[in-house]
Amino acid sequence: MADTSQKKPSGPGAGAGEASEKLWGGRFEGRTDAAVERFTASIHFDRALAHFDLRGSAAHARMLAAVGLISAGDERALIDGLAQIAAQIEDGSFPFDPALEDIHMNVESRLREIVGVDVAGRLHTGRSRNDQVATDLALYLRDVSEAAERGILELRGVLIERAAEHLDTVLPGYTHLQRAQPVRLAHHWLAFAEMFGRDASRQRNLRSRLSDCPLGSGALAGSTLALDRHHTAAALGFDAPSANSMDAVASRDVALEFLSTAAICMVQLSRLAEELVLWSTAEFGFVELSDAYSTGSSLMPQKKNPDVPELVRGKSGRAIGNLVTLLCVMKALPLTYNRDMQEDKEPIFDSAVTLRDSLEVMAGAIQTLRVNTERMAAAADDAMLLATDLAEALVLAGVPFREAHEAVGQIVRHCIGKELDLRSLTREDLQAFHASFSASAAEIASLEGALEGRKVTGGTARGTVAEALSKARADNARRLGELSNGEL
């Protein structure tokens, strides 16, 4: 006959008193091995869901009383007990116990101590930890997504206001990190404002897929009890109960979507951070970061290091990794809930905090940096930035663009070989390369003309950029005004 007795825990750290009784479970006779407790515990990170877990439990208790599954007295006792727990968590006195595995068991265990075993035991009527955690996570994602949207819009607002200060500051625009054409600094920073505007929209769109309440789905198949799922959905601010109980407990696609939006935004932040790193070098000298957003060297006293943007650039890798982590967790899971899904929390919590902090420090760095307008202007005075204008002058004279491009390419090679300023070429000099030139290079191409000539929507003309600034400012103010005052 097989030995079915529970073996005594063995191995490192598996001594007496290091394994705990289960909070519930007539199915089990023995104690959980201490190593299993350590391996499966999530309370060290899922305590971040405490506020949301208590909200969900209070709504569930009120619904149970409303449909007659618990008494009004039990409802009052449960609501009061949950309020006490909330106060203890708030003031730091709550006795979190790693042996109780997760936030849900910690709350229920403390509730037993406050209101008694029988009353506390009624709270889990018609509820599983599966729909409980899905509800907690949905509530958390709604809040952190709105907080992320606010942080993005606040950074966007800083970029817009700094752009407005530099409507007439000119610098080279780059492709392949090579000087390409002159642009306004306002136009450059508004490019990032556009990117972050899309990031903010992604957060708002994400929340439209957090409108259904999982609570009441049970472990996977709902409940035989007469639960009022519309009651709890409305109490928690959802539009409706989830339509399918299996989907409600098994899916984490909105969590993946949050991690994706966070990763995309962190990549955008990383690109902005990279420019601050480059622009603050002696080789560029376009900006100087405030002392509050820089550090010194432990050895070289002259150094002023752009550690803040460098760290933002580095932390984008964490956000990307967190997305890949959860994609790998979910990629082959059968329906419905599997314990693998416990691995969703840490990536989500980490990305939420990483994004929040990165947005805050980048907003501060942009707001306080000093722009070296003279250094930018000197770089923009590179005559080669006007080569495209020469080619377009030929196009206006009826020359096919490819032919014009070839001719101006020859002119550029000539100027480089002879160490000539492109603007010094006379009409006759230009006509040696193409007969259709009708004026000197200085008459055809100038820095002001290169900027003001681009009046197309999205171009660099002063009026066009000023209009874009005005629209961006109004759009950002409207979006911020539509948000609640929730914080991460």
Active site residues: 176, 297
263 vs 189: CA distance, rounded Å: 21
Phi-psi region of 218 (alpha: psi -120 to 50; beta: other; left: phi over 0): left
What is the spatial distance between Cα 380 and Cα 374, in angstroms, rounded to a whole number?
10
Q: Which two tokens stand for residue 371?
A: 């722009």
Q: Using the CB atoms, write b or e for 50-64: b if 16+ within 10 Å.
A: bbbbbbbbbbbbbbb
- β-pairing, 178-184 with 170-175? antiparallel
Identify the CA nearest to 232 among candidates 212, 252, 258, 247: 212
Residue 285 DSSP label: -
Say which DSSP state 256 is in: H
419: left (phi over 0), alpha (psi -120 to 50) or beta: left
| Residue 4 backbone phi and psi in degrees, to 5 | -105, 10
Handedness of CA 210, 215, 216, 219 (dihedral sign): positive
| 3-state secondary structure labels for all residues of 49-73 | HHHHHHHHHHHHHHHHHHCCCCCHH
Q: If DSSP codes are grouped into helix, strand and coil, which group holds residue 464? A: helix
| CA–CA gap between residue 200 and residue 154 (Å, rounded) | 10
Measured over the CA atoms of residue 457, residue 261, residue 142 and residue 191, the dihedral's sign is negative
DSSP 81-123: HHHHHHHHHHHT-----GGG-SHHHHHHHHHHHHH-HHHHHHT
Contact present, 469 and 463 (Cβ < 8 Å):
no
Distance CA 453, CA 161 (A): 25
162, 366 contact by CB (below 8 A): yes
What span, in angstroms and rounded, lies between the C-alpha atoms of 360 and 169? 26
